[in-house]
Amino acid sequence: MAYRDDPYYIERIKVHGDNYAFAALVNKHQTMVYNIALRVTRNREDAEEVAQDAFVKLHKSLSEFRGDSKFTTWMYKITMNLALTRIRKKNLFDGSVDDDHFNEPGLDELPHIELKEQKQLIKTAINMLDETDGLLITLFYMDEQSIDDISAITGLSLSNVKVRLFRARKKLGSLLLQQVPKEEIMIY
Amino acid sequence: MIPDNNSPVSDPLKDLLNPSYLESPPQGFTGRVMDRISTTSPSLISKPVISTGGWVFTLVLVVMVWVIGTHLPSGSQIYEFPQLSSAINTAKSFESLLSGSTISILFFITTAGLLFLLADSAIRKRRIL
């Protein structure tokens, strides 16, 4: 489905209270918001809860959005903060974070995965990165966010984002190269 | 170190990684969000009391009443539109029931009411923008 630019929906929601416009906005951004929550919480149930909370919060505070930053930057920041709050609370009560997100094949199982399942392999490799690295890779490569925006979303400094992204990229590359012959996945 | 989005340096991961690697949220996600919004959060905005169309209608109505009340003498005949003549004369006969001062007071109250609505509308609009 082709979506319009965010300001169109935002204006309709602000001026006309148009819930259809908000539903369109949710549809448009749900995947990315869910994946940001997933990278941080590393648990699908928590990720859905966080993503829902993020959209509800967004709806409540949309009138405060002045457009000083990109809408997605603001939205992802809300998502990330909610996800961090959730895992902090969980750590407080459970002492650990659920890891069911990683019930997918581990690295030791990767040799058994056929190359036609390259997509699954890459997904698995991304899931093996730590929260921040996975988040940076997701934002930079899959949502094409700029370094500046990633810095605003994560609260990391520009140089820190660059360094961490560089390391995450290297780590992901080596995870993939460990498992797949170079000629199959041309990463380097 | 990291090629930025505008960098001409090719980044093989950019070709390899794309949004298809993102996980989709569970089915019915949008519906659940909308359900929560409709049940838990108050309406996002307070709509202005009178919309733009409403103001145009009110303005036309006020001007029409003013024209009928001040410019048309009783018993006017508009031969091309007999129904209009009849309506105007009915309005005039109501007007004649009231004294001049009563009409002034009514006009003042109506104007004050409209100004109040206009101010309320403007304040609400400012609050939501």
pLDDT digits over B47-58, tens only?
Answer: 566 677 777 887
Q: Does A65 touch chain B (CB under 8 A)?
A: no
CA angle B26, B31, B32 (to 5 degrees): 70
Q: A105, A145, A144, A108: which is closest to A127 by C-alpha?
A: A105
Mean pLDDT for A140-159 is: 91
Q: Chain B residues with CB inside 8 Å of A17's CB?
A: 43-45, 47
The more confidently predicted of residues B5 and A128 is A128
What are the pLDDT digits (tens) for A72-130?
A: 999 999 999 999 999 888 776 554 444 444 444 444 444 444 545 667 778 888 888 88
B73 phi and psi angles, rounded to 5 deg:
-75, 160
The A residues from 70 to 109 touching B (CB cutoff 8 Å) are: none
Q: B38, B29, B22: which is closest to A48 by C-alpha?
A: B29
Contact at CB, A19 and B34, closer than 8 angstroms: yes
Contact at CB, B19 and A62, closer than 8 angstroms: no
Percent of chain B with pLDDT over 90: 7
Q: Which two tokens stand for residue A13?
A: 């929601």
Decide: A185 and A118 in contact? Cβ < 8 Å: yes
pLDDT at B79 exceeding the cut of 80? no
pLDDT at B118 exceeding the cut of 50? yes
The more confidently predicted of residues A6 and B72 is A6
- At residue B126 the predicted structure's pLDDT band, cuts being 50, 70 and 90, is low
Identity of the residue numbered A13: I
User: CA of A16: which chain B residue's CA is closest?
Assistant: B47
Look at A150-159, B80-89, B104-113 and tell me which has the smallest mean pLDDT.
B80-89
pLDDT at B24 exceeding the cut of 60? yes
Q: Which two tokens stand for residue B68?
A: 């009928």
Q: A28, A27, A40, A41: which is closest to A136 by C-alpha?
A: A40
What are the pLDDT digits (tens) for A18-77?
A: 888 899 999 999 999 999 999 999 889 999 999 999 999 999 888 888 888 889 999 999
Chain B: give the shortest CA distance to residue A97, in Å.
20
The more confidently predicted of residues A10 and B104 is A10
**Cα A130 from Cα A137, distance rounded (Å):** 11
Mean pLDDT for A159-169 is: 92
pLDDT for B90:
75
Identity of the residue numbered B44: L
Contact at CB, A146 and B33, closer than 8 angstroms: no
What DSSP state is assigned to residue A68? S
Most confident range, picked from B52-56, B71-75, B95-99: B52-56
DSSP string, B53-102: HHHHHHHHHHHHHHHHHHHPPTT---TT-HHHHHHHHHHHHHHHHS-HHH
Helices (H) and strands (E) in chain B, counts: 5, 0
**Best residue of B40, B44, B52 to probe chain A, by most A CBs closer than 10 Å:** B44
pLDDT for B25:
93
The more confidently predicted of residues A56 and B85 is A56
- At residue A158 the predicted structure's pLDDT band, cuts being 50, 70 and 90, is very high
Of the partner residues B1, B44, B45, the one whose CB lies closest to the CB of residue A166? B1
Look at B2-6, B20-24, B123-127 and tell me which has the smallest mean pLDDT.
B2-6
Q: Chain B residues with CB inside 8 Å of A35's CB?
A: 22-23
Q: A144, A135, A148, A137: which is closest to A170 by C-alpha?
A: A137
Percent of chain B with pLDDT over 70: 57
pLDDT at B81 exceeding the cut of 80? no
Distance, CA of B21 to chain centre: 45
CB–CB contacts below 8 A, A to B: 116
- Chain B residues within 8 angstroms (CB to CB) of chain A: 1-2, 4-5, 12-14, 16-26, 29-30, 32-34, 36-38, 40-41, 43-45, 47, 127-129
pLDDT for A83:
93
Identity of the residue numbered A130: D
Taking every pair of Cα atoms in chain B, the longest distance, rounded to a whole number of angstroms, is 90
pLDDT for A52:
95
Q: Give the DSSP H or E segment for A43.
A: none
Q: Chain A residues with CB inside 8 Å of B25's CB?
A: 30-31, 34, 47-48, 51
pLDDT at A12 exceeding the cut of 70? yes
The A residues from 111 to 170 touching B (CB cutoff 8 Å) are: 119, 122-123, 126, 137-138, 140-144, 146-147, 162-163, 165-166, 169
